[in-house]
Chain A
Amino acid sequence: MSQIETFYEVMRRQGITRRSFLKYCSLTAAALGLGPTFVPQIANAMETKPRTPVLWLHGLECTCCSESFIRSAHPLVKDVVLSMISLDYDDTLMASAGHQAEAILEETIQKYKGEYILAVEGNPPLNEDGMFCIIGGKPFLDQLKHAAKDAKAIIAWGSCASWGCVQAARPNPTQAVPIHKVIKDKPIIKVPGCPPIAEVMTGVITYMLTFGKVPELDRQGRPKMFYGQRIHDKCYRRPHFDAGQFVEQWDDEGARKGYCLYKVGCKGPTSYNACSTIRWNEGVSFPIQAGHGCIGCSEDGFWDKGSFYDRLTNIPQFGIEKNADEIGTAVAGGVGAAIAAHAAVSAIKRMTTSDDKTEAKQEEHS
């Protein structure tokens, strides 16, 4: 194999004009939330950076992360796979199987020591000597550790690799663990979500290829650019929350008017993700817009935080035992910045400014 080509060279060779290339760079900048001043920097990076090999491993998982990844609209996944990275191992998409597939993994590790990105979907089970997930006759755990050793950077795709997700929900019969429990000597970029948003996934990759560095991470290892705010912070139904206008039951008047889903269990107020901003599937919609509350799928241990339909206040670890109704009647007290109080205060405020009878009636509930 020849030396690694730059992204720009590949695009040019494939008949993409310089003008289109620059346009692509500006779209990338926009997707990453960067201003137009960053376009030259992105272009420069893409002109000089090589096409990076990526090894994509699968442990215990459901393949929703791969499925999400191929939904990416900008960049299109065909451009990612043909022009941006060299996806050398991915057992969901690769042509070869068996020992020919294993040979590729080995070859890439040897040839690109310290230069490849390891992307991990799913997680390793530790029980039964790791044999709840077997690759090539051996525990997945072995493959994971082996591939991690010489990786330049490691991406934990989705909630399985980041937190453990559904197979690690109580009682976690296979003792599935997030990858940072078994790879301790390398920084891991967590891209949680079940699955993560497609453009978030390709956005993280593009950022790394463009700037040649890991995006800035929060204390839990998530890229700040996508996981820095709660869904609630940017939700288009937020004005209804502030106005005390809630869906009380499925398919009620509020549901049809697009009111806030907090009372039917929405976890938007405690979930850090980009669903309400970038939205899903090329920005078409997101769970709240489609009428169902957020289930908090990008949060650690979201399966074990009570029913998806419980109001947040009923969840013990939320730090407050009262629910919105109770707080509504005792709003004066110092319940702090808790969401429930926030909801109640918003509701009370609304009551004092509105004389709409139906809504006032609704407030009696809250």
Chain B
Amino acid sequence: MTVPLNASGLDNSGRRIVVDPVTRIEGHMRCEVNVDSNNIIRNAVSTGTMWRGLEVILKGRDPRDAWAFVERICGVCTGCHALTSVRAVEDALGIEIPYNAHLIRHLMDKTLNIHDHIVHFYHLHALDWVNPVNALKADPKATSELQQAVSPAHPKSSPGYFRDVQNRLKKFVESGQLGIFANGYWDNPAYKLPPEADLMAVAHYLEALDLQKEVVKIHTIFGGKNPHPNYLVGGVACAINLDDVGAAGAPVNMTSLNFVLARIREAQEFTKNVYIPDVLAIGGIYKDWLYGGGLSASNVLSYGTHTVIPGDKSTDLLPAGAIINGNWNEILPVDVRDPNEVQEFVDHSWYEYAEGKKGLHPWDGDTSPKFELGPKTKGTKTNIKELDEAHKYSWIKAPRWKGHAMEVGPLARYIIAYNSGREYVIEQVDRSLSAFNQATGLDLGVKPFLTSTIGRTLARALDCELCVDSMVDDWNALINNIKNGDSSTANVEKWDPSTWPKEAKGVGTNEAPRGALGHWIKIKDGKIENYQAVVPTTWNGSPRDSDGNIGAFEASLLNTPMERPEEPVEILRTLHSFDPCLACSTHVMSEDGQEMSRVKIR
């Protein structure tokens, strides 16, 4: 089913459905769709409904402090902005970090990815597939059999265990106070799982809640706390002391390293024995619901991540690249410094460019907020009923790569890694597809399988597996390096701003849990002259651009049938597969001092 990727192919004549707030996401988002007479979505409008202006706030500050500010862009993907920020500053100043710091940052970054993916699947996304009320009808014994069939290695599988979970749920529901489950869509036919699968998933919802607080303790060891662990320009602040006086009170010692390994192992077991089997089991039951691919079948982008040999991007476990027009045979190179590649447009965003319609590279960005509703808006400025998407309609800008709207995220990086011949990834994808085909009796190919809402959700789980597995390698590499006599964790040669050039500019990139993340910085006289972040949800949640190209959220909803248009189960299901992070996407603002005066401070 071909999805139109331009506003010109959309039909907004049918019934309009508004979802605001979109819940179980980070931040604030609104979504409006039009459905045709068969309740199929024919137009989608994705709106970021918050703006904070962090880059403006950064102007004039110490570049060594920037990580802490931008870390507060998002407390869910906590740390990934901080990491990208220290990379941008180090790139600008030409600082190389010690190998131990490289490894410790990897361990922290992967911890974040693991945590983010697990919490996303179980606590933000699962309720789009899983019906907790239906779980009350399950037979605990049959649930136990299902658990053992789906994942023989998971120890929590006895009938008694599931009976306890069910009893707890039953009593909760009977209390009449449904809390977070209240007003769910529990009698909607869009929910397809048998009661036993629902019960198993509810049990795992609770297990995941316990697990997630354990894996983040790796951040606590290396960064002192979670959420929002501490980072450092030049390396990491957690000094290593294994066998000298004071080791017991040092950040990294034998005890804390052992502790870290234990947390990795725990997360590894959960990912392999619970998370991936659950996604495949649920995906298999929803085999007839292969909607939601949208832009992923055409255009995907990744900056590449998990560089094994410092400085050598060709050793990225998940490589950088771009695919356009669905041509999986050609991976295009990406240069984030090229002014003609990454550009942002604001035609449909609540900003204005001084020089009219054009795209601007982040180093040359311009942002002035301009909150303005189109003539076809229904409602008033402070009570919007329906937006006019022909005009400005979002606090998110529209980034484009060489003019193309791109999907980013685990699915995008997996498509690129798969087609770049990364063996680990090919094995993961092929293994999953074969399990899916075997369970469903289908004979799907990789492309239709991956480029769907289910494929996007699966890619996240596989990304989690890659992180837990490679963390064991990182941990071993760290031990080896220390064994070889290197316990250095920070390069302080350029810590003092007096050693810096008068002017410098740099860029830091990363693949955050939700996709391609870039921070661009300009430094002048030891202070931040400008700072721009173009984040994953800005890519995915973007409104239309000058040419009418639609973003990934909007594209993914098109052609999806809704069981009951007034109940947005299908909309939530597909939007959640991106794990939207609106605080990330909508803070973007400019750099150059003039804009400040145009922000009205009342």
Residues of chain A at the chain B interface (Cβ within 8 Å): 1-2, 4-5, 10, 13-15, 51, 53, 58, 60-68, 70-73, 76-78, 81-82, 85-88, 90-104, 125-140, 142, 165-167, 169-176, 194-195, 197-198, 236-237, 249-251, 255-258, 275, 280-282, 284-292, 295, 297, 303, 307-309
Q: How many residues of B contact A (CB 8 A)?
A: 112
User: Which residue of chain A lies nearest to B489 when distances are taken between CB atoms in the complex?
Assistant: A251
Smallest distance from the beta carbon of A336 to chain B beta carbons, Å?
29
Determine whether the beta carbon of B381 is less than 8 Å from that of A96: no
Which residues from chain B contact A102 at a C-beta distance below 8 Å? Answer: 21
**What is the CA–CA distance of A33 and B335 in the complex, to the nearest angstrom?**
55
Q: Are B28 and A133 in contact (CB under 8 A)?
A: yes
The answer to whether B72 has its CB under 8 Å from any CB of chain A is yes
**In the assembled complex, B275 has its CB within 8 A of some CB on chain A:** no
* A62-B73 CB under 8 A given contacts A86-B177, A101-B21, A132-B51: yes
A165 and B249 CA atoms in complex are apart in Å by 31
CA distance in complex: A198, B228 (Å): 13
Q: Judging by beta carbons under 8 Å apart, are B127 and A250 in contact?
A: no
Q: Are A256 and B180 in contact, CB atoms less than 8 angstroms apart?
A: no
Q: Which residues of A contact B245 (CB under 8 A)?
A: 257
- The answer on a CB contact under 8 Å between A92 and B241 is no
Q: Is the Cβ of B227 less than 8 Å from the Cβ of A67?
A: yes
Q: Are A169 and B69 in contact (CB under 8 A)?
A: yes
A173 and B382 contacting across the interface, CB-CB below 8 Å:
no
Roughly how many angstroms separate A73 CA and B237 CA in the complex, as a whole number? 26
**Residue in A60, A71, A101, A255 whose CB lies within 8 Å of B183:** A101
Q: Which residue of B lies closest to A86 (CB)?
A: B177
Determine the residue in chain B with the shortest Cβ distance to A295.
Answer: B68
Q: Which of A70, A130, A170, A282 contacts B212 (CB 8 A)?
A: A70
A51 to chain B, nearest CB (A): 6
- Is B495 positioned at the interface, with any CB of A under 8 Å from its CB? yes
**CB closest residue in chain B, given A108:** B182
**17 residue pairs A–B, Cβ–Cβ below 8 Å:** A14-B167, A70-B119, A94-B24, A95-B184, A127-B600, A134-B49, A166-B57, A173-B596, A174-B53, A194-B228, A250-B492, A255-B237, A285-B224, A287-B230, A289-B224, A292-B224, A292-B238
6 further A-B pairs in the complex, CB-CB below 8 A; given A104-B182, A285-B256:
A91-B23, A95-B182, A135-B21, A137-B385, A250-B489, A291-B237
Is there an interface contact between A249 and B54, defined as CB atoms closer than 8 Å?
Answer: no
Contact B57 A86 (CB under 8 A): no
What is B's interface to A at a CB cutoff of 8 Å?
A: 18-28, 30, 49-54, 56-57, 61-62, 64-65, 68-69, 72-76, 78, 119, 123-124, 127, 164, 167-168, 171-172, 175-177, 179-185, 206, 209-210, 212-213, 216-217, 219-230, 232, 234-241, 244-246, 249-251, 256, 259, 369, 371, 379, 381-385, 395, 487-490, 492, 495, 567-568, 572, 583, 589, 596, 599-602
Q: Say yes or no: B235 contacts A251, CB within 8 Å.
A: yes
B51 — nearest CB in chain A belongs to which residue? Answer: A132
Contact A281 B225 (CB under 8 A): yes
Asked whether A291 and B238 contact (CB < 8 A) given A51-B177, A170-B57, the answer is yes
Quick one: given A134-B50, A251-B488, are A171 and B184 in contact (CB under 8 Å)? Answer: no
- In the bound complex, residues from chain A placing their C-beta under 8 Å from that of B251 are 258, 285, 289-291
Q: A194–B221 contact, CB under 8 A?
A: no
Q: How far is the CA of A290 from the CA of B20 in the complex (A)?
A: 41
Asked if A98 contacts B583 (CB within 8 A), the reply is no
Neighbour of B168 across the interface among A68, A82, A138, A284, CB < 8 A:
A82
Give bound CA distance, A286 to B180, whole Å.
31
Knowing A70-B212, A137-B379, A171-B57, the reply to whether A280 touches B226 (Cβ < 8 A) is yes
Contact A256 B382 (CB under 8 A): no
B382 A195 Cβ-Cβ under 8 A: no
Q: Which residues of A contact B51 (CB under 8 A)?
A: 132-133, 174
Task: Please state if B171 and A14 are interface contacts (CB–CB under 8 Å).
Answer: yes
